[in-house]
Amino acid sequence: MTEVNRLDGRRPSDHATTEWTSRVVGCGSALPERRMTNHEIAAMVDSSDEWIVQRTGIRERRIAADGENTSDLAIGAATSALKQAGIRGSDVDLVVLATCTPDRTMPATAVRVQAALGMTGGVAFDVQAVCSGFVFALSVADNMIRLGQARTAVVIGAETMSRIIDWKDRNSCVLFGDGAGAVVLRAESRTGGPRKGILSTHLHSDGRHQDKIYTDGGTSSTQTAGKVHLEGREVFLHAVVNLASASQEALTANGLTLENLDWVVPHQANQRIIQTLGEKLHLPPEKIVLTVDHHGNTSAASIPLALAEAVADGRIKENDLVLTPAMGSGFTWGAALIRW
C-alpha cells in the first residue's frame, strides 16, 4: 500500500519537492471584562493618571476575574480566530501557545486549548519567551508548516500577568494587563507570483541580561510563581536597539526596505519605547499600530491582540506588508515579516 501523508493526502516524496508557506487566514482575541484605570492604581501606590500616561502611554488595562485562567483567554482567542478563518477546531493539527503565566506547572496550557477546540490529533505545546513569545511561537509553527509537519496551526499569545504583579511596586504594576490573541496559519503551496504569508522570522536571545526583567520565584527555586521586577532604564535602552535591529534584519533578509512596509505591529511594552523605535527607523506614526493605551503590556499576548484589532477595524488588509518586532525578558527578541 502506498504511504500517504495524513496532512493533505500527498505522498511524502511530494512534500520533499513542494515549497510550503504559512498563510494567516484568521485572527482573534479575548479580553477580561474588568477594566482597571490608572486612577485605581493611583489609589494603591504613589502614582497618578498623569504620571502613568506620561511615562508609559497606558490609560487602562484588563484584569482577569477570579477563576479566569490563561487557558480561558487562550480558548476564547483561538475560537474567535478559527471562526474568522471558517475552520473547525477538529481540523487543526498544531497548537503553539506562548505564555509565561500558565495555568499549571504541568501539563502545558496548550493541551487545555487543544481539548476545548475538539482537536484530538496533532500536537499542542507551550513556548516560553515572555514578551517575545508570540514571535517565537509563530516561528515554530511556520517552520513546522514549511517542513510539511503541520497543515493548520493555531498560534496563541495568552497571559494573566496580573497574577505575578506586586501591586505595591509602582515601577511594574502600572505596566501590565491580561488578555489573549491568536492567529490561524494554513499551509499553502507556492504556485509562482509574489509570496504571501510569513516571509521570514528572526529570533535572538542573550542570557547575560536575564536579571533585567525577572520574577523572584519559580518551581525549582522557591516553589512559588514569584513577582515581576524590572530595571526600567536598562530595558528601555536595550529594547530600542534590539527591536530596530530585528526589524532591519527581517527586511534585509527579504530584499525589502522600510518604505515597503504598510504596518509595524510591535510588542506593546511602553508607548515611549514604540515612539523611539519609530523615530530610530524613520517610520511615520500612522504606520505603527498602538494598543498599549487600552491594553497595557500583555506580554506574549500583545502582538496578536494588536493584530486582531487592526484586522477587525480594517487597517490591515490583504497584501499589506506587516512587521512584528518584539523583545522580552531573557533578553529575548525577534521579528516576523508577513505578507497579509
Tell me whether residue 297 is one of the annotated catalytic residues: yes
The pLDDT, as a whole number, for residue 5 is 40
The one-letter amino acid at 81: A
In this predicted model, what pLDDT tens digit does every residue of 200-244 receive, in sequence order?
999 999 999 999 999 999 999 999 999 999 998 889 999 999 999
Active-site residue, selected from the candidate residues 38, 69, 270, 297: 297
Active-site residue, selected from the candidate residues 27, 131, 209, 242: 131
The pLDDT, as a whole number, for residue 84 is 97
Tell me whether residue 202 is one of the annotated catalytic residues: no
**CA 78/CA 134 separation, integer angstroms:** 13
The pLDDT, as a whole number, for residue 16 is 56
The one-letter amino acid at 326: A
The pLDDT, as a whole number, for residue 9 is 45
How many of the other CB atoms lie within 10 Å of CB of 156?
Answer: 34
The pLDDT, as a whole number, for residue 194 is 75
The pLDDT, as a whole number, for residue 4 is 34
The pLDDT, as a whole number, for residue 17 is 66
Mark 298-335 as b/e (b = at least 16 C-beta within 10 Å). Answer: bbbbbbbbbbbbbbeeeebeeeebbbbbbbbbbbbbbb
Whole-prediction pTM: 0.94
The pLDDT, as a whole number, for residue 87 is 97
Active-site residue, selected from the candidate residues 69, 267, 270, 295: 267
The pLDDT, as a whole number, for residue 11 is 40
**Which residues, other chains included, contact 195 with Cβ-Cβ below 8 Å and sequence gap of 6+?**
21, 339
Q: What are phi and psi of 335, to 5 degrees?
A: -160, 150
Tell me whether residue 131 is one of the annotated catalytic residues: yes
The pLDDT, as a whole number, for residue 191 is 72
Beta-sheet strands, E only, within 83-122: 94-98
The pLDDT, as a whole number, for residue 92 is 98
Low-confidence ranges of the chain (pLDDT < 50): 1-13
